[in-house]
Structure 1
Amino acid sequence: MSDPIKTAVIYYSATGNVHRLAEAAAEGAEKAGSQIRLVKVRELAGEAAINSNDAWRTHIDTSGHVDTASVDDLDWADVVIFGAPTRYGNVPSQLQQFLDLTGPLWAAGKLADKIYSAFTSSQTPHGGQESTLLSLYTTMYHWGGIVVPPGFTDPIQFRSGNPYGASHVSADGFPGEVELEAARYQARRAVEVAAGVIGTRVEERAS
């Protein structure tokens, strides 16, 4: 019996919206039979900035149980699903700093041929969701990764409306069931694609 697919859900969340999407993605991957690591990237903002936003302060105080991400999580995983809010149409500095630490793994070829996907959250419906996901996927292209967006491949995607990845508009409050189910589906699809890719590689090596 082959080993289960290993999935790392690596995210940054300030006020908790992306955290909830990350939990849903981890649920979807686990239900697809994957081993899971749910980890958050290190917070870089100072206390003054955090304390200026009650939701930010509350999320920091209530999410201490989540392990901090390291590049070892990338090395371990067959599937990597990133989550981050959008910042001016791009990823926040916290996640970018984590990505900037991956040079040694990239140089060793250890980031190539993995399955990657991503999700995001923004303040408004057109607040940069698509450009944030596309800019994040650009890093995966440099790694030689296999990007697996959800596309319009399931009925939930026609309800959520973003083929690039699960997304949420924070002006509507915390993610609702449509957004959470889209994140679960996206993770399940990534795991299923990874199982097919890894199975093909095993067959090729055996032939």
Structure 2
Amino acid sequence: MAQTVVVYFSGYGHTQRIAEAVAEGAQAQLLRIDSDGGLPQHGWDLLAAADAIIFGAPTYMGSAPWQFKKFADASSKAWFTRAWQDKVFGGFSVSASLNGDKQVTLIGMQTLASQHGGIWVSLGVPPANTLAATRSDVNNLGGSVGLLVQAPSDAGADAIPEGDVQTARGYGARVTGIAQRFKS
């Protein structure tokens, strides 16, 4: 089985809930970026050993928060040695708005993966875009580059629509499945 790591920052718990769902689908290890933008002692070794890395962050003011950016900048040590070359990557973002400019955050993650020489995995699920579609449907927000999630700003992580949580599990499984194909 491919080894997948979900590395994420969560400011209020919403992104953590989605990271857990992605990790469940991917059968992955979780690696939390702390409030200072750092990783635990073993974090860089865990990422180096992974076959797949899934980035996760909320979208604040049109991009990933500074804690994720600090992690991304610190990954330049892995970039210098090409430690993540040919790894499989994916990403997700959470914001309070249905759109909330999450696409910008995902493109930043995709660019980071590309700079490392990685292989990016799209969501791979058509949007639920019919009149009958509801927030309980998979990919109701219509993402394609990666996973988009909406979390109401006035509610806890348990209020994230079930369709987004299901999409998260499916995306995690897709990333690990593709990593397994490359590993075989």
- Please state which band the TM-score falls in when normalised by the shorter chain: 0.7 to 0.9
Q: Deviations over 1:173-196 (max 9, x none)?
A: 432221111111111011111111
Whole-angstrom distance in 1 between the partners of 2:41 and 2:56: 14
> What amino acid is aligned across from residue 43 of structure 1 in structure 2?
S
Q: Does 1:167 align with 2:140?
A: no
1:39 is displaced (CA, Å) by 1.4
Provide the rounded CA distance (Å) in 2 between the counterparts of 1:181 and 1:142: 30
Amino acid at match of 1:197: F
Q: Does 1:83 align with 2:56?
A: yes
Contact 2:127 2:143 in 1 (8 A): no
Describe the shift of the 1:16–1:69 C-alpha distance in structure 2 as closer, same or farther (beyond 3 A). farther
1:197 alignment partner in structure 2 = 182
Aligned to 1:178: 163
Asked whether the equivalents of residues 57 and 93 of structure 2 are also in contact (C-alpha less than 8 Å), the reply is yes
Q: Is the aligned partner of 1:92 residue 2:84?
A: no
For the structure 1 residues 68 and 9, does the alpha-carbon distance in structure 2 shift closer, same or farther, using more than 3 Å as the test?
A: farther
Larger Rg, first or second structure (1 or 2)? 1
Q: Describe how 1:1-207 pairs up with structure 2 within 5 A.
A: 4-30=1-27, 36-44=28-36, 70-152=43-125, 157-171=138-152, 173=155, 174=157, 175-199=160-184
Letter in 1 for 2:16: H
1:20 is paired with a residue whose SS is helix
- The TM-score, its normalising length taken from structure 2, stands at 0.84
Q: 1 or 2, which has the higher helix percentage?
A: 1
**Which TM-score applies when normalising by structure 1?**
0.75
Displacement of 1:68 in angstroms is 7.2
Secondary structure, aligned partner of 1:119: strand
Q: Distance in 1 between matches of 2:75 and 2:169?
A: 26
1:30-72 per-position Cα deviation (integer Å, ceiling 9, x unaligned): 2xxxxx3211102129xxxxxxxxxxxxxxxxxxxxx677222
Partners of 2:17 and 2:112 in 1: CA distance: 24
Aligned-CA RMSD value: 2.2
CA shift, 1:27, in A, is 0.6
Q: Which amino acid aligns with 2:180?
A: A
Deviations 1:149-196 (A, max 9, x none): 213259764434212222222227432221111111111011111111
Return closer, same or farther for 1:140/1:93 CA change in 2, 3 Å cut-off: same
SS at match of 1:159: coil
Moved more, 74-83 or 164-173: 164-173
Runs of 4 or more off by more than 4 Å in structure 1?
153-158
Which whole-Å CA distance do the structure 2 matches of 1:38 and 1:95 have between them?
15
Residue identity over aligned pairs, in percent, reads 29
